[in-house]
Amino acid sequence: MGYRYDAGEVITAMVTPFNEKRDVDYGKAESLVKYLMNSGSDSILVAGTTGEGPTLTHEEELELLSTVKRATANKCKVIMNASSNCTETACRTAKLSKKEDIDALLSVAPYYNKPNQQGIYEHFSALAKSTDLPIILYNIPSRTGVNMMPETVAKLAKEYSNIVAIKQSYNDMDMISEMRCLCPEDFSLYSGDDSLTLPMLALGANGVISVASHLYGKEIKSIIRNFKTGEFKAALNMHKKLFPVFRKLFMAPNPAPVKSVLANRGLIEEYVRRPLVELTELEKYELYTVMNACCLDD
C-alpha cells in the first residue's frame, strides 16, 4: 500500500501558449504559471491534452517542463504528462521528467490501439517500474477508446506503491463508487471534468484536474472548500453558476475555447496547433455571452 498523494484541490491542466508562428512561447508560459499560482491553482499539469501535448515534440515538452518548474520556484507542485500508446515512450518520458525534480506524473490509458484490461495493466505496471515518481492514472474513454475498469485500477493501486491516484473523466458515478470500494483508502480520486467535481466530491474525491481553473480557479476552490466544510448549499450555488461555463468551454475541441478567453484577457495568444483550429467569431460571441451571464457577483 502507498500513501495518500496530495496534489492539492485544484490542479490546472495548463494550456501551452503559442505565438503566431505556432511556436511555443516560453515567456508567456512562465507568465501564465505565475498567474495561475495567484488564482487558486495548487498544482500545474504540463503538456497534457489541454496543453496540446500530442502536438509537442519531446524536446518542446521537456523545455516547457523546465520553464514551468523554474517559474513555480517550488511554491506550486508540478505534474508532467507521461502518456503514450507506446509503453516504452511513456517510460522514457517518465525517466527524462525525473531530472526536473517534479512532483508526479500523469499518464492516460493507451489510446487508439485499444488494449484490453490485461494490456492496460501491463502498460502501467511497466511505467510504475520505470520510475519512483508518484503516478496519477488518467481514464477518459471518449478520447482513448478504452475504459479502465475499477478492478484494473484497484489491482494497480494495490500492487504498486507509486500508483497513487486517478483522474476520472467519465460520468459514471457507479464506477467511481466501485473504485472507492475496491481501491486502498489512501488512493486519491480527482475529477477530470469541471462539471463532475461536485458530484465526485460526494464520493470522496480530493479535487479536480481542471480546465476552467484558468479562468475561475478561486471559485472552483470555493466549491471544494465549502463542500469539505459542510457548506453544501454554497458549494451547490457556485457549481450552478459555473455549470453553463463548464459546458461551454467544450463547445469546440479543447483548448481552443479557454485559449480564446485567455487571449481576450491579454495573457496569451489564442493560437492552437493543427489539427485544432481557433474559435470563429460566432463561437466567441456564444462563449462570451454565457460567461457574461455567469453572475458571479450575485
Is-contact 51 89, C-beta < 8 A?
no
The one catalytic residue among 28, 155, 167, 248: 167
Q: Is 167 a catalytic residue?
A: yes
* CA distances for 290 relative to 170, 242, 264, angstroms: 24, 10, 15
Q: What are phi and psi of 208, to 5 degrees?
A: -140, 145
Burial pattern 114-124, b for ≥16 Cβ within 10 A else e, equals: ebeeebbbebb
Q: Is 138 a catalytic residue?
A: yes
The one catalytic residue among 121, 138, 190, 271: 138
CA 174 – CA 257 distance, rounded (Å):
30
Pull the grid cell for residue 35.
498567474
Burial pattern 16-45, b for ≥16 Cβ within 10 A else e, equals: bbbeeeeebbbebbbebbebbbebbbbbbb
Intra-chain end-to-end CA distance of the chain, in Å: 46
Q: CA triplet 184, 185, 188: central angle to 5 degrees?
A: 90
Query: Which residues carry out catalysis?
Result: 138, 167
